[in-house]
Amino acid sequence: MIKKNTSHLKDIQKISHTEGFSSVVSSVYRFVVHIENLRSAQPNAIVQFSNGEMAIIWQANEKATTALLLSANSKVEVGMGAKLVADNFSVYASDKLLGRIVDPLLSPKDGKSIDKKGTPQPVFGSAPGFYERAIVDEQLGTGVVMVDTLFPIVKGQRIAIIGDNKSGKTTFLSQVAQYQSKEDTVLVYVLIAKHKNDINKLLERLKVAGVLEKTIIVVADIFDALPLSYLAPYVGCAIAESFWRAGKNTVVFYDDLTAHAKLYREMSLLLDVPPGREGYPGDMFWQHSSLLERAGKLKRNGASQTVLAVGTTPTGDLTGYLPTSLISMTDGQIVFDLSTMHRGVKPAVNVGVSVSRVGGRSQSKQFAELASRVRAELAKYRTASDFARFGTELSDVATKQIALGDKLYELFKQPPEYSYSLKEQYIMLEALMQSKEPEEVSISWLKSVIQDVTLQDIDEKDYIKIAKELIKSNPMVKTP
| Per-domain boundaries in the chain | 9-88, 91-360, 366-472
Dihedral sign computed on CA atoms, order 371, 372, 377, 379: positive
85 phi, psi to nearest 5 deg = -120, -15
Hey, what amino acid is at 208? Answer: V
Q: Is 9-88 CATH 3.10.560.10? A: no
Other C-beta atoms closer than 10 Å to the C-beta of 40 total 8
- How are beta strands 355-356 and 46-49 bridged, if at all? unpaired
Task: Spell out the per-residue pLDDT of the chain, length 480, in tens.
Answer: 334 333 333 333 333 444 578 899 999 999 999 999 887 789 999 999 999 999 999 998 877 899 999 988 899 999 999 999 999 999 999 899 999 999 999 999 988 888 777 778 999 999 999 999 999 999 999 999 999 999 999 999 999 999 998 899 999 999 999 999 998 899 999 999 999 999 999 999 999 888 998 999 999 999 999 999 999 999 999 999 999 999 999 999 999 999 999 999 999 999 999 999 999 999 999 999 999 999 999 999 999 999 999 999 988 889 999 999 999 999 999 999 999 999 899 999 999 999 999 998 999 999 999 999 999 999 999 988 888 777 667 788 888 899 999 999 999 999 988 999 999 999 999 999 988 888 888 899 889 888 877 676 677 778 888 888 887 776 554 444
Indicate the CATH number for domain 91-360: 3.40.50.300
**Separation between Cα atoms, residue 289 and residue 230, nearest integer Å:** 15
- pLDDT tens for 382-396 read 988 888 777 667 788
- pLDDT tens for 1-59 read 334 333 333 333 333 444 578 899 999 999 999 999 887 789 999 999 999 999 999 99
Hey, what amino acid is at 82? Answer: A
Give the angle 63-69-70 at the CA atoms, nearest 5°: 150
- pLDDT tens for 190-247 read 999 999 999 999 999 999 888 998 999 999 999 999 999 999 999 999 999 999 999 9
**Separation between Cα atoms, residue 61 and residue 338, nearest integer Å:** 49
Classify 366-472 by CATH class. mainly alpha
Mean pLDDT of the chain: 89
In sequence order, the 6+-apart residues with CB closer than 8 A to the CB of 312 are 162, 163, 164, 165, 169, 256, 258, 259
Residues designated as active site: 357
